[in-house]
Structure 1
Amino acid sequence: MAVTATRTRQKSSSSKSIRVESRSSASVLHLLIAVSGIYTSFLTWAVLQERISTTSYGPNNRVFRASLVINTIQSFCAAIVGYIYTRYTSSSTKESSAIFPNRKVIFQYALVATTSSLASPFGYASLKHIDYLTLLLGKSCKLLPVMALHVLIFRKKYTWSKYFVVFAVTVGVSLFTLYHPSSSKKAAQATSSSSLYGLLLLAINLLFDGLTNSTQDHIFHTQPTINGPKMMCGINVAATVLTSVFLLTPISGQLEDALEFFQLYPQVLYDILLFSLCGAIGQVFIFFTLSKFGSLTLVTVTVTRKMMSMLLSVVWFNHKLTPGQWAGVVMVFGGVGAEALMKYFEKKSRVGKDAVSRKAD
């Protein structure tokens, strides 16, 4: 009887181990799919964003400045893709596919839509005072506001390795900005105070981005019926309504300017539509990552994606970097890479402890 009981426990332990390894393999596969989707979609998205926001159209060399129009078209496309994504992943019951299940979630969607809609204009406005590469590297500092808001608002605690990543990324961005070549066109046109003003606008953009990511995480924890597809659709519907209402007010003035620009230079409209489609597909993978792995994993993935976008921008648009700027790039990559390596060893250590515990049982 004792031998039979022992064999039964061994079989049970073995089946548990197989299930844990299976879940771990599935988790790694899901993360690889998510990372591949984010990289492919947003590397294309980044090239189109730089083309739309910094390059000129037509013989008069006009630059498209109606950032809210870009946001509205992008959120509208993302809402449609998000709805299709929701219908595909939800069951046929009305309750399970409800995008707005209660009033509280409507308010939360509206809050995220507001912060994300406010973030983008500050990012585009900063491009008048800093170049696109500085914007991309600065966006890599999103880890800092996300962590700060998690600690201050949601009382979350982090390991020392997380703070090391934030320090490395911040120092890297500082080096990149400090060693900006003075011979570049942007530096020749902008004064030192103008560049500082651009960094201030970028800091506001990062603050709103951080609030957006933290609130999204909070929604997942407080609304059990909400998943990635539903959140994607709901937030983009709220953002489309919000920005459309503002565009129709006399205060904006961007809608008329955009329509005139589209008539004169239709190429920009095609670029914006392709840009929005890439963003919408990318959001599918972003919300999938957010719901499966949380906001810090998502931010780590998007930070490395921004770094790849920056390197692609250097090659695609023939930008030149100084040795000091390359040192900043290495600091950012090194910080994020070290954090990923530490997470890998922590997870491996936990798996080893679980295996020892199962053998002891």
Structure 2
Amino acid sequence: MTSKETVISINGTKNGNGRESQAATVNILCLDITKYSLAVQFTLCCFFVFIFYLAYGYFLELIFSDPDVAPVSLYITFIQFLITMSLSHVESAIRNPIKRKVPLRTYAILAALTLGTMSLSNLALSYLNYPTQLIFKSCKLIPVMIGSIIILGKRYGFLDYVAAIVMCVGLTMFTLADSKTSPNFDFVGVIVISLALLCDAIIGNVQEKAMKQFQATNNEVVFYSYAIASIYLLVITGVSGILKNGFIYCSIEPMTIYSNIFLLSLCGYMGLQAVLTLVRICGATVAVTVTTMRKALSIVISFLLFSKPFVFQYVWSGMLVVLAIYLNHYSKKHPNYVPRALIVFWRYVQSIYDSEYSENVSIKTT
């Protein structure tokens, strides 16, 4: 669930000085775990992240591994959006009522982007192996960097660009391995998941800008984004006939298919809440490290539970992606880091250029 993973903010309360401080209560899945130590809280969060997101990956591959689901994938996404919206509403009823702060026009854009990233990610599974799709989703650093430079005007350091290059190499090698070993590999899937990543890059930056500008909560953004996107999908599937065809497809085994979609949505939403709590108590870097380990384990489980050919190229290309993710997170703590050898080499080249330039200038002068 690519778009959900980008909606991360920490809600706090303002103290007497008007500064925002972290709330004393720590909840996970509506359970109060404040009384437990930080180590116990971290363990519980990691447990729920692994359990729910591993289950989410299982149900996602289970649903979309059927070749017949491709023509009606938008209907499956439509049902998933309705369930996610309902879960968000139920959570707001249990905790705090949703009060809209972000303009509806912004939510209309976010809904379109959410629809793009979710529907295209789901559709890609009809053309690609789940591990390949997951590797692509792990590589959203590249489009996010491009989007943040254009939309937010951000600047990146040396390690960020190195991470992007390493990630491109690992991603290319993983895709080539999949094209050689997967019997149902289709390059259309690469295009589809790339478009999903493009939407994901834009939505992440738009969400960040909107949430900072209007101080919106995660629940508000999730509810309105999915509610409006559900309206979009209702119109699209209704006009195109996918709504009818999807209903007919799911009516073949309604209990099984709708149960799987419900469990898919529930696991994704619960996993999101566990990630948000982990971000709150341990920080974003720790949370991303945990979710990255979860993705690696999801790939292993996918190869074990769903029969698919395996080559060693999957391993080392995946390790390149992991290395790129590590470099990206390391750069957050050391934004101005540049290898000393590179600095020495650059100064040496610059000194040669300066000497040559000064000599040429002196010759011309004389």
Which range is displaced more, 108-117 or 235-244?
Answer: 235-244
User: What's the CA shift for 1:274?
Assistant: 1.2
User: What's the CA shift for 1:206?
Assistant: 0.6
Indicate the SS of the match to 2:221.
helix
Q: Are 2:166 and 2:320, in contact at CA under 8 Å, matched by a contact in 1? A: yes
Pair 78,120 (structure 1): closer, same or farther in 2 beyond 3 Å = closer
Which residue is 1:242 aligned to? 232
Can you give the 5+ residue segments of structure 1 that lack an aligned partner in the other structure?
1-18, 57-61, 91-96, 188-193, 347-361
Per-residue displacement from partner, 1:195-239 (whole Å, max 9, x unpaired)?
2x3322221111011111111111111112x11122222222222
Pair 46,173 (structure 1): closer, same or farther in 2 beyond 3 Å = same
Which residue is 2:210 aligned to? 219
Residue 167 of structure 1: which of 162, 165, 170 is its match?
Answer: 165
Which residue is 2:189 aligned to? 198
Which residue is 1:319 aligned to? 308
1:254 aligned partner, one-letter code: I
Q: Are 2:285 and 2:329, in contact at CA under 8 Å, matched by a contact in 1? A: no
| Distance (whole Å) between structure 1 residues aligned to residue 318 and residue 60 of structure 2 | 21
Structure holding more helix per residue = 1
Indicate the SS of the match to 1:180.
helix
Can you give the 5+ residue segments of structure 2 that lack an aligned partner in the other structure?
1-20, 25-36, 336-366
Q: Are 2:117 and 2:200, in contact at CA under 8 Å, matched by a contact in 1? A: yes
Which residue is 1:276 aligned to? 265
Q: Are 1:213 and 1:295, in contact at CA under 8 Å, matched by a contact in 2? A: no
Which residue is 2:133 aligned to? 135
Q: Are 2:92 and 2:98, in contact at CA under 8 Å, matched by a contact in 1? A: no
Residue 42 of structure 1: which of 34, 50, 53 is its match?
Answer: 53
User: What's the CA shift for 1:150?
Assistant: 0.8
| Distance (whole Å) between structure 1 residues aligned to residue 103 and residue 112 of structure 2 | 14
The answer to whether the aligner puts 1:332 opposite 2:330 as a matched pair is: no
Pair 126,308 (structure 1): closer, same or farther in 2 beyond 3 Å = same
Per-residue displacement from partner, 1:274-300 (whole Å, max 9, x unpaired)?
112112223334566788999898766
User: What's the CA shift for 1:39?
Assistant: 3.1
| Distance (whole Å) between structure 2 residues aligned to residue 291 and residue 215 of structure 1 | 21
Which residue is 1:54 aligned to? 65
2:77 aligned partner, one-letter code: N
Which residue is 1:77 aligned to? 83
Which residue is 2:198 aligned to? 207
User: What's the CA shift for 1:319?
Assistant: 2.7
Per-residue displacement from partner, 1:133-188 (whole Å, max 9, x unpaired)?
2222111111111121111111112333333332222221111112336354225x
2:100 aligned partner, one-letter code: F
Pair 111,178 (structure 1): closer, same or farther in 2 beyond 3 Å = same
User: What's the CA shift for 1:63?
Assistant: 3.9
Per-residue displacement from partner, 1:239-280 (whole Å, max 9, x unpaired)?
2222123222x22x1111122122212222221121121122
Pair 133,105 (structure 1): closer, same or farther in 2 beyond 3 Å = same
How many residue pairs get aligned? The number is 303
Pair 115,208 (structure 1): closer, same or farther in 2 beyond 3 Å = same
| Distance (whole Å) between structure 2 residues aligned to residue 149 and residue 87 of structure 1 | 35
Pair 79,335 (structure 1): closer, same or farther in 2 beyond 3 Å = same
Which residue is 1:106 aligned to? 104
Per-residue displacement from partner, 1:105-154 (whole Å, max 9, x unpaired)?
22222211111102233334434443332222111111111121111111
Residue 264 of structure 1: which of 236, 252, 257 is its match?
Answer: 252
Q: Are 2:98 and 2:219, in contact at CA under 8 Å, matched by a contact in 1? A: no
User: What's the CA shift for 1:331?
Assistant: 0.9
1:157 aligned partner, one-letter code: R
Which residue is 2:223 aligned to? 233
Which residue is 2:92 aligned to? 86
Per-residue displacement from partner, 1:305-349 (whole Å, max 9, x unpaired)?
433322221121133321222111111122223444565688xxx
| Distance (whole Å) between structure 1 residues aligned to residue 141 and residue 289 of structure 2 | 8
Which range is displaced more, 285-294 or 155-164?
Answer: 285-294
Q: Are 1:232 and 1:283, in contact at CA under 8 Å, matched by a contact in 2? A: no
Q: Are 2:135 and 2:171, in contact at CA under 8 Å, matched by a contact in 1? A: yes
Indicate the SS of the match to 1:186.
coil
Q: Are 1:86 and 1:233, in contact at CA under 8 Å, matched by a contact in 2? A: no
Q: Are 2:114 and 2:226, in contact at CA under 8 Å, matched by a contact in 1? A: no
| Distance (whole Å) between structure 2 residues aligned to residue 122 and residue 319 of structure 1 | 22
2:207 aligned partner, one-letter code: Q
Which residue is 1:147 aligned to? 145
| Distance (whole Å) between structure 1 residues aligned to residue 278 and residue 205 of structure 2 | 14
1:201 aligned partner, one-letter code: V
Indicate the SS of the match to 2:232.
helix
| Distance (whole Å) between structure 2 residues aligned to residue 209 and residue 30 of structure 1 | 30
